[in-house]
Chain A
Amino acid sequence: MGSCSSQATTIPDVDTIRQEIGFSQASLVRLYRRFRDLDRNKKGYLCRRDLRQIGALAVNPLGDRIIESFFADGSYSVDFSGFVRVLAHFRPVDDEEIQDPKAPEPLNSRMNKLPFPFQLYDLDRDGKISRHEMLQVLQVMVGVQVTEEQLESITDGTVQEADEDGDGAVSFLEFVKSLEKMDIEQKMSIRILK
């Protein structure tokens, strides 16, 4: 435990991060270690290239978009707190936290988890997933065995299913609504990121 805490102190802003984001000390230490591993040049922040080095991400159809989501608004680097902040979306929901209604909604709440996937779809950041954006996502995810035409029809189907106001695109609220039956808290959580 001694090594843990000693390392924890080296993490910049560790206390604020913990309060704000809610990761446990151990997780933070682990993540910080990981952060430093990814940071090849010890520059104290990560850039896109660092993340692209992760082999498994290369084969992940959404890999690029996910990497992109770490870099808010086109910035070139992300520091540890930003890094952790993104990951915090995937922290499992604890029972205790729910009890406090006054506190600002934690990053891992349902409404905060969903924007993450939403902005993966919404490439142009206009707050809507257009048909075209949807199609692009489908294209990368579904793979080659499906013809273009099928993809388009699926896209249409998907958009129509979610689209309530008939504007031919899926807004965030519609997005949330279409997934209301889904256990997002569970689906979008990773156990080890406590």
Chain B
Amino acid sequence: MPLLSISNLEVEFETAEGVVKAVNGMTFDVFEGETLAIVGESGAGKSQLVLSFMGLLAENGSVSGEAKFRGEDLLQMKPRELNRIRGRHIAMIFQDPMTSLNPFLSIEKQMTEVVRHHQGLSREEARAHAVEMLRAVRIPDPEERIKQYPHEYSGGMRQRVMIAIGLLCAPELLIADEPSTALDVTVQAQITELVGELRKKTKMALVLITHDLAAVAEISDRIIVMYAGEAVETGTVDEIFYSPQHPYTRGLIASVPRLDRISDDELQAIPGNPPNLLELPIGCNFRDRCSEATEQCLERPPVWRATSGRTSRCFQGIEGGEIVNE
């Protein structure tokens, strides 16, 4: 049984300019111990997807569909039940570690509060546990540093603290929304490595959200590529990187600047801009930016599925696959 099973999830926002469909019929599973990366540009709906089943949507948003965590539908839960799940069973890390930490509380206070609330530990036990977690995320001298305040930590260190807080209750699922985007490349590399290592040790499932395919190449098992609220391609990490089927996926891979190749050509970009969800093109959402678009693309592309389970939402299809919808 999958740990988390999302089916036909839709998220809508009511805005002054009209109703915006940020997530349009997403269906996927997350299994125990696996790392799933959700990749897409800003506006692809990847963050809203996660926020919706965590019950963290903005006031003008609404969600429909199903999001079953161990068989229980998160979308039907009362806020109290959802609170119990959040933090205890599912933890989340956000992009900006500074805004997620309370600047007026010491790291110790912020960390022990979580454990004491969820696990009912005594103060000493909670403290010992917190120190242990800080050591796990490789913060030097954790006994001393736990007494400090967020502003005394560097950006990378703060993100480590956020990860430590996320891991405190040994969640079954950790969701990281662009955990390293705001950080330097050097620190990004360290954080990526750390997250991958911790996951191996703890057997928790990990959902990584990012706009940078390169950042998740090493640590993910499966990848979902999102565009305009829909999954355009899904597959294992090797399938996505070594035989991408959808033109958008190919564009994302090509746009990563590389140092391991000698090439002075122009950098490859995906032309145009991320889609405006209020004015999507007719037919395929990616049509106006796609270099391989044809007349056919003026209609909604079908979803193809191969025997391996990988899918692609494009008329080009997958060799040996079949159309599974519409």
Asked whether A and B interact, the reply is no
